[in-house]
């Protein structure tokens, strides 16, 4: 649940824009209005410079070297892990934070390593109708392998999970997989009752934090989930680095996922012994510079203050809901809660019957970047009864002028198609 916060700082998106070189790129026509951060965020100069500096001054492989720059690499890599762990309130950052390629790999890790070892034919797992494909398909694959029963919490007309069905659907399940924030509706799901239902059934809770962690102050202990997956590139970090946080005892009880170097303590011709956490789950040379870049992104967000980031997005979401509704009235449908304090800063819209791709194309002419399509959530699209939406998503570098540019560009769609 989003916290209603006292402002402890403020974020001025217009000022911060100067930290993000791509937003100032020279281009024909109007300035770039980037409203696609839910897909991937832009990177501040601090992250780019940290990664460059690492490659230019300290780069070497981790875990093995006995020379100075290799030791520096080890230290920087370990520091990045600690930063990321503290950012989400991990009780044991040095052991509970596993670096992966992205959130998708993190979720596949849970399915294939924890799931395959702990689940049996006939076991049930509960997911929701609003999951991203990355928190559906890994479970489909596992269900085919093991013969699992899949159940789903549905989504009501206000874009909220139908929690009235939770007790019934959770009965006897071994695992509940749920997004903390819908990548389509922005809905922030209340984890409390879900964790409670899981506990009552001895089930674990796997949270998809891809949209939540970059935008909302996160404390895994307070959330109560057992695993949390998220990705670096949506939180000002580089691509190629994802995170799986897991409770230490659960990770200890989970066999390895990928096999190879680094993840072993010993290898003989008749077997192997897995390494300690977290290296047990990090086979091969890891994304070192990317992890260090993610650490720099975490520094940047913490300097702003995550309460301030969340406050900024609540304000800007309120402004966007108000502006779009006021200017476009009945022509526009905004899917989701439409309650700034109960959702993230993303707005999935349909504009009359203009196809989202056409809408996105028209907006692009005004420099406005939005995502169009099914957002990797086709079951939710079917539930909403649309083939796709155009999604505008907000982050620290956005301000009212970006929302105004979106609202203005939509009038061009009106002029063109009607």
Q: Where in the sequence numbering do the catalytic residues fall?
A: 376
> Which of 4, 25, 26, 28 touches another protein (CB under 8 A)?
28
Q: Judged by CB under 8 A, which stretch of 143-151, 183-191, 202-210, 372-380 contacts another protein?
A: 372-380
Nearest approach, Cβ of residue 388 and another protein (Å): 5
Give the binding range for another protein (CB under 8 A) out of 173-181, 210-218, 220-228, 367-375: 367-375
Q: Which is nearer to another protein, 136 or 294 (CB)?
A: 136
Cα separation of 127 and 152, whole Å?
A: 5
CB distance 304 to 9 below 8 Å: yes
Q: How far is the CB of 380 from another protein (least distance, A)?
A: 13
Verify binding: residue 294, another protein, rule CB under 8 A: no
On the CB side of 4, how many CA atoms lie within 13 Å of its CA? Answer: 4
Residues 379-398 that bind another protein (CB under 8 A): 381, 387-388
The 3-state DSSP class for residue 83 equals helix
Report the residue number, 81 or 374, with the smaller CB distance to another protein: 374
CA-CA-CA-CA dihedral for 295, 195, 212, 343, to nearest 10: -160
403/360 Cα distance (integer angstroms): 15
Footprint of another protein on 336-365 (CB under 8 A): 355-358, 361-362, 365
Which CB, 323 or 387, lies closer to another protein?
387
Site mask for another protein (CB under 8 A), range 222-261, x = bound: ----------------------------------------
One of 200, 222, 253, 416 touching another protein (CB under 8 A): 416
Query: Can you point out the beta strands (E) in 87-203?
Result: 97-100, 124-128, 149-153, 173-179
Instruction: Answer whether 158's CB lies under 8 Å from 140's CB.
Output: no
Could you give the angle at which helices 400-417 and 356-365 cross, rounded to 10 degrees? 120
Spell out the residues 6+ positions from residue 10 whose beta carbon is closer than 8 angstroms to its own.
308, 311, 312
- The stretch near another protein (CB under 8 A) out of 91-99, 160-168, 193-201, 409-417 is 409-417
> Nearest 5°: phi and psi at 191?
-80, -25
Phi/psi for 11 (5° steps) reads -115, 125
Cα–Cα distance measured from residue 98 to residue 282, given in angstroms and rounded to the nearest whole number: 7
CA-based nearest residue to 85, from 76, 93, 77: 93
User: Least Å distance between CB 33 and another protein?
Assistant: 15
- Judged by CB under 8 A, the residue of 378, 379, 404, 414 near another protein is 378
Query: Would you say 360 and 116 are in contact if contact means Cβ atoms under 8 Å apart?
Result: no
* 404 counts as binding another protein under rule CB under 8 A: no
Minimum distance, C-beta of residue 413 to another protein, in the bound complex (Å)? 10
Site membership for another protein, residue 417 (CB under 8 A): yes
The site for another protein (CB under 8 A) is made up of: 28-29, 355-358, 361-362, 365, 372-374, 378, 381, 387-388, 412, 416-417
């Amino acid at each position: 649940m989003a916290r209603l916060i006292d402002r402890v700082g403020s974020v001025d998106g217009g000022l911060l824009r100067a930290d993000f070189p791509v937003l100032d790129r020279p281009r024909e026509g109007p300035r770039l209005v980037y409203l696609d951060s839910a897909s991937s965020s832009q990177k501040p100069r601090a992250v780019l410079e940290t990664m460059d500096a690492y490659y230019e001054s300290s780069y070497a492989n981790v875990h093995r070297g006995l020379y100075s720059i290799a030791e520096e690499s080890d230290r920087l890599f370990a520091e990045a892990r600690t930063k990321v762990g503290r950012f989400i309130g991990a009780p044991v950052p040095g052991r509970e934070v596993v670096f992966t390629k992205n959130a998708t790999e993190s979720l596949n890790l849970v399915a294939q390593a924890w799931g395959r070892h702990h689940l049996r034919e006939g076991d049930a797992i509960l997911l929701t109708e609003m999951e991203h494909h990355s928190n559906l398909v890994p479970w489909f694959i596992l269900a085919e392998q093991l013969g699992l029963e899949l159940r789903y919490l549905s989504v009501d007309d206000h874009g909220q999970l139908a929690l009235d069905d939770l007790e019934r659907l959770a009965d006897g399940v071994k695992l509940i997989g749920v997004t903390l924030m819908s990548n389509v509706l922005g809905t922030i799901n209340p984890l409390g009752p879900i964790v409670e239902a899981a506990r009552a059934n001895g089930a674990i809770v796997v949270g998809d934090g891809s949209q939540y962690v970059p935008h909302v102050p996160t404390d895994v202990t307070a959330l109560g989930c057992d695993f949390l997956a998220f990705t670096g590139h949506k939180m000002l970090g580089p691509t190629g680095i994802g995170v799986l946080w897991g409770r230490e005892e659960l990770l200890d009880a989970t066999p390895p996922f990928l096999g190879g170097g680094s993840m072993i303590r010993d290898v003989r011709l008749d077997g192997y012994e897995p390494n300690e956490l977290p290296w047990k789950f990090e086979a091969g040379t890891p994304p070192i510079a990317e992890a260090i870049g993610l650490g720099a992104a975490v520094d940047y967000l913490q300097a702003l203050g995550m309460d301030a980031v969340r406050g900024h997005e609540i304000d800007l979401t309120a402004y966007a809901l108000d502006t779009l509704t006021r200017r476009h009235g009945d022509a526009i449908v905004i899917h989701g809660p439409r309650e700034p304090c109960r959702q993230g800063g993303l707005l999935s819209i349909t504009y009359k019957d203009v196809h989202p791709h056409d809408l996105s194309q028209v907006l692009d002419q005004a420099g406005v970047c939005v995502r169009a399509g099914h957002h990797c959530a086709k079951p939710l699209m079917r539930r909403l009864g649309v083939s796709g939406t155009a999604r505008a998503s907000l982050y620290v570098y956005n301000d009212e002028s970006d929302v105004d540019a979106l609202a203005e560009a939509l009038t061009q769609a009106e002029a063109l198609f009607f």
